[in-house]
Amino acid sequence: MAEDPLARYAVTPACSHAEFLAAAKLYARAVADRHDLSVDVNALDWDVSTRAKRRAGAVHHREGTPERITLAWRQFENDGWDATAATVRHELAHVHLLREAGDASHGPAFRRLAAELDTHVHCERFAAPAFWVVCTDCGARLARYRRSTLVDAPEEYRCGDCGGRFRVEEV
């Protein structure tokens, strides 16, 4: 658990918009497969918004059919891939519930799925992580949006990069 296998899709802000979207789509496909979501990643249009100042992501739909996912470049620049990845999971939850139930809300079904996907319930604002798990040796920082066994018992894990110990900062 110290090493998230999905972290291999991470990209850094030096990449192009095309690389960013390619990574987001690969990551989305992996999440959809792992959680058995009703999401056809290739059937959706994926966009970068360079204008969005507060909104981290959005699903655009027509009469309940999801058509396009927009991700905010600014969140990626400011907060990095982990924050974007959490937004991708949030938007995938919307796509799944739209397709399964025509539900675009943040209601009870959304909250259950958001918990399963370890993402935030509100998409109106850029979400700051609730915790940073920091390696005391190499300084690697892992964003966590909810409590988890890693957050509660960091001493039971070691850094995937260097084998160092973790401490937890509550945001």
Residues that bind Zn ion (CB under 5 A): 123, 135, 137-138, 140, 159, 161-162, 164
Judged by CB, which is closer to Zn ion: 15, or 38? 38
Judged by CB, which is closer to Zn ion: 15, or 157? 157
Whole-angstrom Cα distance, residue 134 to residue 159?
9
CB of 63 to Zn ion, least distance (A): 18
Judged by CB, which is closer to Zn ion: 15, or 118? 118
27-49 residues labelled b (16+ CB within 10 A) or e (exposed): bbbebbeeeebebebeebebebb
CB of 27 to Zn ion, least distance (A): 18
CB of 25 to Zn ion, least distance (A): 19
Judged by CB, which is closer to Zn ion: 22, or 140? 140
Cβ–Cβ < 8 Å for 89, 121: no
Judged by CB, which is closer to Zn ion: 19, or 156? 156
CB of 16 to Zn ion, least distance (A): 27
CB of 43 to Zn ion, least distance (A): 20
Facing residues of 142 across strands?
133
